[in-house]
């Protein structure tokens, strides 16, 4: 494939790089959200267990 | 240092939850302010041997059970991956751009998600200014974080797409510059939030900046018609209908819908966690008074 200046380029690495970045951002942020929520819950549960003793 | 490590009574009362573990949990939570940590040090003095001052934990249980945004998010992530599979293997190749055009199925939905986050930020900022409520500010914060993620993703994928098509990673084109400005303002919002202590001043300042961020979105959208740009003009929402192939358009619209729903779920999931963290902190500190 040629770009607008007539230079030959292989587009596949660009496409996969984009999706790799998308995967990293979207799934990475989602994982971070789940982890953050779990940590808050575990902290609250720890407080509750301590409180009930 | 967290005071629980120095409290033998806690060690005795907490059973299998050792103080060291409690400390690690509290520190690793990363959500508790230094003030709360200091307070916990005081709580563990001889006058307050138990963390028994926290009341009404049942109300928190109700909030903790509100996991709908997270469950929906899991479903939407699976759907998003399916849409990507369609974009890679099902839709036909573009005659002019070849395989590189498939970046559109990530780039455009990410841009729409960033705009939607700005829309949520607009509503939350207006409500925060009206009601002075901290809850709306937390919604603003969640939408800003998500908006920043999607704006950076839009810029990065656009830059990667630009290299094989335009022959350059970046150009100070009107669309690119206004989108870059959006990412800077999202980042600035988070810095501003962290720089001002909790109170009416923070709510007002952040809300005004939130309104400015939302005002940038129509400028980005119309930039390709207002100025001569390298970026292509509007493809989907244009008078006379879209010029795209119907199969391509279907997958793109599905991607926009899924990514928009994903961003909303991220925002509300993050808001739930932020509110829980804040309430935990406030109630803990309130219990000392």
Using the beta-carbon criterion (under 8 Å), do A25 and B153 form an inter-chain contact? yes
Nearby residues of B219 by Cβ (< 8 Å), 6 or more positions away: B178
Are the C-beta atoms of residues A29 and B263 closer than 8 Å to each other? no
Give the best residue of B10, B106, B150, B154 to mutate against chain A (max A CB count within 10 A). Answer: B106
Residue B58 lies in a domain: no
Whether B289 has a pLDDT exceeding 50, the answer reads no
| Segment B36-42 mean pLDDT | 40
Higher local confidence (pLDDT), B21 or B112? B112
DSSP A18-52: HHHHHHHHHHHHHHHHHHHHHHHHHHHHHHHHHHH
CATH code for the domain of B227: 1.20.120
pLDDT tier, B149 (very low <50, low <70, confident <90, very high otherwise): very high
Using the beta-carbon criterion (under 8 Å), do A34 and B70 form an inter-chain contact? yes
Considering the domain architecture, whether residues B118 and B202 belong to the same structural domain is answered as yes
| Segment B12-26 mean pLDDT | 41
Q: What is the ipTM of this complex?
A: 0.84
Task: Please indicate if any CB of chain A lies within 8 Å of the CB of B277.
Answer: yes
The nearest CA of chain B is from the CA of A40 a distance in Å of: 6
Number of domains making up chain B? 2
Rama region for B50: left / alpha / beta (φ>0; ψ in -120 to 50; rest):
beta
Considering the domain architecture, whether residues B207 and B93 belong to the same structural domain is answered as yes
Residues of B in contact with A26 (CB under 8 A): 77, 80, 149, 153, 262
Considering the domain architecture, whether residues B121 and B32 belong to the same structural domain is answered as no
Residues of B in contact with A21 (CB under 8 A): 153, 156-157, 160
Q: Which helix (H) or strand (E) holds B40?
A: helix B34-43
Q: How many angstroms separate the CA atoms of B210 and B240, rounded?
A: 34
- Report the residue from B15, B149, B277 with minimal CB separation from A40: B277
What is the residue range of B265's domain?
67-282
pLDDT in tens, A11-33: 888 889 999 999 999 999 999 99
Using the beta-carbon criterion (under 8 Å), do B280 and A40 form an inter-chain contact? yes
The pLDDT of residue B18 is 42
Considering the domain architecture, whether residues B74 and B120 belong to the same structural domain is answered as yes
pLDDT in tens, B117-131: 999 999 999 999 998
Considering the domain architecture, whether residues B96 and B35 belong to the same structural domain is answered as no
Q: How many angstroms separate the CA atoms of B148 and B138, rounded?
A: 15
Considering the domain architecture, whether residues B41 and B85 belong to the same structural domain is answered as no
Considering the domain architecture, whether residues B14 and B157 belong to the same structural domain is answered as no
Lowest-confidence pick of B59-63, B65-69, B70-74: B59-63
């Amino acid at each position: 494939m040629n770009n607008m200046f007539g230079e030959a380029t292989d587009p596949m690495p660009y496409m996969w790089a984009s999706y790799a970045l998308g995967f990293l951002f979207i799934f990475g942020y989602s994982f971070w959200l789940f982890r953050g929520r779990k940590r808050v819950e575990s902290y609250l549960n720890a407080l509750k267990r301590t409180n009930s003793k | 240092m967290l005071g629980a490590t120095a409290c033998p009574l806690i060690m005795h009362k907490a059973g299998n939850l050792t103080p060291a573990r409690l400390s690690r949990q509290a520190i690793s939570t990363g959500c508790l302010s230094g003030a709360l940590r200091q307070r916990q040090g005081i709580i563990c003095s001889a006058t307050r041997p138990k963390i028994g001052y926290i009341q009404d934990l049942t109300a928190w249980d109700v909030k903790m059970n509100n996991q709908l945004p997270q469950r929906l998010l899991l479903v939407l992530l699976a759907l998003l991956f399916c849409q990507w599979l369609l974009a890679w293997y099902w839709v036909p190749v573009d005659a002019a751009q070849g395989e590189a055009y498939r970046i559109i199925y990530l780039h455009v939905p990410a841009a729409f998600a960033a705009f939607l986050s700005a829309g949520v930020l607009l509503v939350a900022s207006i409500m925060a200014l009206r009601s002075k409520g901290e809850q709306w500010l937390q919604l603003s914060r969640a939408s800003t974080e998500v908006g920043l993620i999607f704006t950076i993703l839009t810029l990065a994928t656009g830059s990667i797409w630009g290299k094989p098509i335009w022959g350059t990673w970046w150009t100070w084109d009107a669309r690119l510059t206004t989108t870059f400005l959006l990412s800077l303002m999202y980042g600035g919002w988070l810095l501003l939030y962290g720089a001002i202590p909790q109170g009416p001043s923070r709510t007002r300042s952040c809300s005004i900046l939130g309104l400015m961020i939302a005002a940038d979105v129509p400028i980005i959208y119309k930039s390709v018609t207002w100025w001569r740009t390298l970026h292509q003009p509007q493809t989907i929402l244009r008078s006379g209908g879209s010029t795209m192939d119907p199969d391509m358009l279907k997958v793109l619209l599905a991607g926009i819908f899924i990514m928009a729903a994903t961003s909303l779920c991220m925002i509300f999931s993050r808001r739930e966690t932020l509110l829980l963290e804040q309430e935990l902190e406030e109630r803990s500190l309130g219990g000392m008074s």
